[in-house]
Structure 1
Amino acid sequence: MKQQILVVGAGFGGLWSALSAARLLDKHDRNDVVITLLAPQAELRIRPRFYEPNVHAMFAPLDALFDSVGVRFVKGSAERIDEQARTVGYRDESGRQHELSYDRLVLATGSQLARPPVPGLEAHAFDVDQIESAARLENHLKSLKDRPYSLARNTVVVAGGGFTGIETATEMPARLREVLGEDQDIRVIVIDRAPQIGAALGDGIRPSIVEASDHLGIEWVLGTSVAAVDANGVTLSDGRHIESNTVIWTVGFRASPLTEQLTSVRDGLGRLHVDQNLKVAGQDNIFAAGDVAYAATDDLGNLAAMSCQHAIALGRHAGNNVAADLLGVQPIPYSQPKYVTCLDLGAWGAVFTEGWDRQLKLVKDEAKQLKTQINTIWIYPPAADRATALAAADPMIPVA
């Protein structure tokens, strides 16, 4: 009977895990191991682009790629992990429940937007976390033109001044004017509890965020947070109310709740502690990749962020090492010492930094060209050609 490697999740971590496992099996000429990938869709959803318009097109089909490398795809949503029986229970698109067995498992089910119990949040706020929710926001923005003018119609409130909040906010003036007209007086307001603009991104990148915000007319309300959302806007923790028909929540992410089903150590965001080979702490047969992995990137105390930059490399290493573990060959310890930041700042441009201390390297048009290259080429999957795909899955390829 053939042995089974099961990868759960078709995001960056899951896709590259499957490809890398296939690469190592091919390298050792092994045909006695089946790689199965379980996910709701056979597509890589390009989540870093969900703040952009035309979000319905932000995915790449994976069927042909999986066929080219011999990865079996199963369509369904994972619901249960039984680490003793080595099974994963899932529900198919018709709602029926099934099980898949594994000899080795890679959990790569990603992260999701945290939704705290803020009154009115579920009923009235939008987000850019998934294609479906980002498409809902896009349809809402397009519908604003059918409403009579009001301050609320022309105002967008973005809750959260982190990476996602900034990219969403700086894209919004152009998106609003495309719908409402270039002559419209629009407002985009970022609500952030931090005392400074872009506080989480550091001093090196802050001046660019400030300049872009001034250029685009984006307002920042600092030192406060959203206490409630209603049909007409938001109430802040300091009691102020801002009128808006469009409130976008971007605050906080948590690892997939499937991590809670394993008897393993997790961090405050629900990520599973892993060793240098990305095997989950306390588990003999389970590895983790992408946003569910609490992984050291170097020997200096830096940890992988919830980003495709880290998920791609984590996937390549997890896939290689899960196959290596099954075959009894030497694993490749995960290491990703190089860290970069490329932040889109709308029509102003972008900003690119290197290092964990975010040393400024490119700004405005130069950085925007690089960001466009990253978003439209670099993070997409390889061509559905066996040799090309397997070569691209080499864990020793540096990811910046």
Structure 2
Amino acid sequence: MKQRILIVGAGFGGMWSALSATRLLDQHGRDDVEVVVLAPQAELRVRPRFYEPDVHKMVAPLGELFDAVGVTFVQGFAERIDTEGKRVGYRTTAGQFAELGYDRLVLATGSQVVRPALAGVEHAFDVDQLEEAVRLERHIQSLAKLPASVSRNTVVVAGGGFTGIETAAEMPARLRAALGEDAEVRVIVVDRGSEIGAALGDGPRGAIIEASEQLGVEWRLNSAVASVDAGGVTLASGERIEAATVVWTVGVRASSLTEQVAAERDGQGRLHVDANLQVPGQEGLFATGDVARAACDDQGNYALMSCQHAIALGRSAGNNVAASLLGVAPIPYSQPKYVTCLDLGAWGAVFTEGWDRQIKFEKAEGKSIKQQINSVWIYPPAAERAAALAAADPLIPVVA
């Protein structure tokens, strides 16, 4: 009977884990171990692009790729993890409950934006999951059917972090595409920070300020949304902003499945892992992507909830989970090089290097890099076995 490596999740961490595990098994000529991916869809949802228009196109099918490398895909929604019995319970698309046993488990179930207990927050949109991003796109397209008003032409973005900035910078163009190029549009970022782009540090702040001014994006600093309704938001200061569109980008938390594992978690719900991405005290359980609190280097830096880190984490987790079955030496996870590429809409983009985010490229040069990242670098490899497995080498550096 074959041993089974079960990977829960088909995002960046899960997909690359499956390829990397298969790669190491292939190198050792082992056909007595199967790699199984359990996820709601056999597709990579390119989440870093959900702030863009045409969001329904931001998916990459994985069926042919998995078939090419010999990964088995099981469609379902994971609900229960039994680490003692080494079983994962899931719900099929028909609503039936089923289970999968495993010899080794990689948890790669990602993260979700946090919706706080805030009055009227159900009126807000987000760009976190594909369905919500599509709902926002349809809403923007429908605005043209409404009578012209300040509310119709205004978007409030709650949160001035990476996602909030990219969403806000894209909004003027998206609104004008829906309402007409001559429409007077208004985009307002509401942020608790005391400075524009505070969450990203001093490095890119000047670029964010310049882009905001050029694009007409306003900031409400030292502010928070107190309530949301169908017509706009009320801030904690009492200020009322009329807006038909409110986008929530504040706070992200790891999948709630991590709470079923008897192990240490951080404030974002991520499982603490060792250098090989194994969960201490849980034999045969690895965590990767947004559910793993993993040290990138020996300088005190930890992986962020980003595709840049999830790709490398996935390659490492897949290699090391297979290594643990084969009895060969693992390759400790290491990702000392850190870059960011922040999309700033029509202004361009800003590309930085290092944890202090030193600017290397900006405006058109930065935008060119961002377009490469978004359209090529973060997508799955082609469905060709040898090339796909070669791309899953954990020693390949990731800069996207």
TM over 0.5: yes
Q: Take 1:184 and 1:14, find their aligned partners in 2: how far apart are those partners? A: 43
Please report how far the alpha carbon of residue 257 of structure 1 lies from its aligned counterpart in structure 2 after TM superposition. Answer: 0.2
Please report how far the alpha carbon of residue 191 of structure 1 lies from its aligned counterpart in structure 2 after TM superposition. Answer: 0.2
Q: What is the aligned-residue identity percentage?
A: 71
Report the AA paired with residue 33 of structure 1.
V
Alignment correspondent of 2:23:
23
Q: Take 1:225 and 1:104, find their aligned partners in 2: how far apart are those partners? A: 44
Alignment correspondent of 1:298:
297
Report the AA paired with residue 87 of structure 1.
R
Q: Take 1:73 and 1:391, find their aligned partners in 2: how far apart are those partners? A: 20
Q: Take 1:134 and 1:26, find their aligned partners in 2: how far apart are those partners? A: 38
Deviations 1:191-246 (A, max 9, x none): 00100000010111000000000000000000010010011100101111100000
Alignment correspondent of 2:369:
370
Alignment correspondent of 1:210:
209
Report the AA paired with residue 143 of structure 1.
S
Q: Secondary structure at the match of 1:126?
A: coil
Please show how residues 216-255 of structure 1 align to structure 2 within 5 Å.
Answer: 216-255=215-254
Please report how far the alpha carbon of residue 281 of structure 1 lies from its aligned counterpart in structure 2 after TM superposition. Answer: 1.8
Report the AA paired with residue 314 of structure 1.
L
Q: How many pairs are equivalent? A: 399
Alignment correspondent of 2:259:
260
Q: Structure 1 residue runs of 4+, over 3 Å off?
A: none
The answer to whether structure 1 residue 13 and structure 2 residue 13 are counterparts is: yes
RMSD value over aligned CA atoms?
0.4
Q: Secondary structure at the match of 1:311?
A: helix
Q: Secondary structure at the match of 2:98?
A: strand
Alignment correspondent of 1:110:
110
Please report how far the alpha carbon of residue 3 of structure 1 lies from its aligned counterpart in structure 2 after TM superposition. Answer: 0.4
- Kept in 2, the 8 Å contact 1:202–1:358? The answer is yes
Q: Take 1:399 and 1:156, find their aligned partners in 2: how far apart are those partners? A: 34
Report the AA paired with residue 77 of structure 2.
S
Report the AA paired with residue 51 of structure 1.
Y
Report the AA paired with residue 230 of structure 2.
A
Length-normalised TM-score, structure 2: 0.99
Please report how far the alpha carbon of residue 182 of structure 1 lies from its aligned counterpart in structure 2 after TM superposition. Answer: 1.2
Please show how residues 25-104 of structure 1 align to structure 2 within 5 Å.
Answer: 25-104=25-104
Report the AA paired with residue 221 of structure 1.
R
Q: Take 1:18 and 1:43, find their aligned partners in 2: how far apart are those partners? A: 13
The answer to whether structure 1 residue 385 and structure 2 residue 384 are counterparts is: yes
- Kept in 2, the 8 Å contact 1:353–1:361? The answer is yes
Please report how far the alpha carbon of residue 366 of structure 1 lies from its aligned counterpart in structure 2 after TM superposition. Answer: 0.1
Please report how far the alpha carbon of residue 183 of structure 1 lies from its aligned counterpart in structure 2 after TM superposition. Answer: 1.1
- Kept in 2, the 8 Å contact 1:197–1:210? The answer is yes
Length-normalised TM-score, structure 1: 0.99
In structure 2, list runs of 5 or more residues that go unmatched: none
- Kept in 2, the 8 Å contact 1:291–1:307? The answer is yes
Deviations 1:155-181 (A, max 9, x none): 000000000000000000000001101
- Kept in 2, the 8 Å contact 1:277–1:321? The answer is yes
- Kept in 2, the 8 Å contact 1:272–1:281? The answer is no
Please report how far the alpha carbon of residue 184 of structure 1 lies from its aligned counterpart in structure 2 after TM superposition. Answer: 1.1
Alignment correspondent of 2:396:
397
In structure 1, list runs of 5 or more residues that go unmatched: none
Q: Take 1:185 and 1:282, find their aligned partners in 2: how far apart are those partners? A: 58
Q: Take 2:301 and 2:190, find their aligned partners in 1: how far apart are those partners? A: 28
Q: Secondary structure at the match of 2:165?
A: helix
Alignment correspondent of 1:269:
268
